[in-house]
Amino acid sequence: MNRANYLVYFFLLMSCAISVVFACIPNPICNLIAIVILNTVIISTVKLNIIHPFVWYIPIFSLYSFGNLILVLFGNEIYTNATWELFIIQYVFLVTLIVVISPKVYTLKIEKKWMKSEFDVYRVVSVILAVLGSFYIVYLYSTGLTSKYDIKLSSSPIDFLALSFNFLFVTFSFYLIYKINKNREFPYLIYFIYIVWLIIVFSVNGERDLLLKGFWVGIFIYHVYYREISKKIVMLIAILVIITMPFLQNLKSFSTKGINLTLDDNIFISIVNSEFVAASRNLATLVLNQSKWDFKYGETLIWDIQSAFLNIAGSPTLWFNQTFYPNLLSRGGGSGFSIIGEGYLNFGMIGVILWGIMVGFTIKLLYKYGSNNFYIMNIYILTMPLVIYVTRADFATLMSQFSKQIIIPILVIFLINKVYKQYYFSKKVERTKEFEK
């Protein structure tokens, strides 16, 4: 290691130490400075490599976890009597994530043999799923079920068609890659049609997650399989997405409820209130009301497994809403939860570290092995939005949606692809025999 590298690592180490110093000062401004320094340092260590979790995950996690500090500074936060205590809990989780994930950058070595032409079957499957999803959206619009609560409480026999969105999310990602590999061009028109379709879906059911996931997967597939996105464009996209969040929230309320909401005069407050405050407020609700609950000492992991794989009612999120928001829960709603909160609910600060290790290790494994495997890289890209969402949920959500909305669809589609290949091969053999006759 030459002298220049020593100086770089010394600067990084000193920057992290300064971040810790600012974090130990019970002042919102100092705490925000600590987060900014830490994010800047870790992003610099991986040179803004968009595939590394330090770039796509840590900054967004920081927004979800520390956005409440902005509200405190502007006098808009309801929990101000324990701001620093909550900050330390979240900061410990963040540092744990950073240590577990590590700044090691893995070079992409995805072999072309993983992108064979038989993946053309994804076009047929994607069209079928889009038709089923469109039918479901037409049904929701015709019946007036545009509220998320109403949809959740609905007992319609065609509610199962909502699953088509998750399957399409997977199949379309494979189809994009197939088109890139086949034509050596990104299928701009097909992707544009897909995004327009998602906008229509969003305007009916108010699920902006589908739209955001569509943008997200398209960007990363473009970067990994077609052409590397420049660092300037990466930063521009990130800024535009963050600024757009309040407008999406307004559009969601207007399209599904007819409510014309106005943005706050302060753009920072609008951004935080639109998406990035639920997780920290849920954690605050849990920590500041410890008289209402007892530590679970790992019991929630049993709930997670039962909820994710056995469909047994009960999860940390359900417990949280039953304990603190029973009226909202009875109306089909909920306030989500916090992945940090689940750790704290079990073992206090030790639980925060343990849950940070589990989340960080999951991300690290997918990133590491996805760097040289087509399927795992796709799973990694598809899991990115889920990991971000879990910040305001629980580990049951991570396990359940990872298995049911990513792994199972991939296995089903893989099976369809295998049957398709066998059918194609048998037909080819039959034609060969007929020709020989």
Give residue 59's pLDDT. 93
Residue 146 lies in a domain: yes
Residue 78 lies in a domain: no
Give residue 156's pLDDT. 61
Beta-carbon neighbour count of residue 170 at 10 Å?
25
Residue 121 lies in domain: 112-259
Residue 387 lies in a domain: no
Helix (H, G, I), strand (E, B) or coil at 181: helix
**Domains in the chain, number:** 1
Beta-carbon neighbour count of residue 207 at 10 Å?
18
Residue 236 lies in a domain: yes
| One-letter amino acid for residue 61 of the chain | F
Give residue 253's pLDDT. 54
Q: What is the dihedral of CA 275, 280, 286, 289, to 10 degrees?
A: -110
Give residue 263's pLDDT. 55
Give residue 208's pLDDT. 80
- Are 118 and 420 within 8 A, CB to CB? yes
As a whole number of angstroms, the distance between CA 218 and CA 200 comes to: 18
Give residue 181's pLDDT. 85
Upper half-sphere CA count for residue 374 (Cβ side, 13 Å): 14
List of the chain residues with pLDDT < 50:
256
Residue 38 lies in a domain: no
- Are 364 and 182 within 8 A, CB to CB? no
* 407 DSSP 8-state letter: I
Residue 122 lies in a domain: yes
As a whole number of angstroms, the distance between CA 353 and CA 340 comes to: 9
Give residue 384's pLDDT. 95
Residue 204 lies in a domain: yes
Query: ∠ CA 77-82-85 to the nearest 5 degrees?
Result: 120
Q: What CA–CA distances, in Å, run from 401 to 58, 89, 308, 329, 356? A: 21, 26, 8, 21, 19
Residue 174 lies in a domain: yes
As a whole number of angstroms, the distance between CA 277 and CA 71 comes to: 9
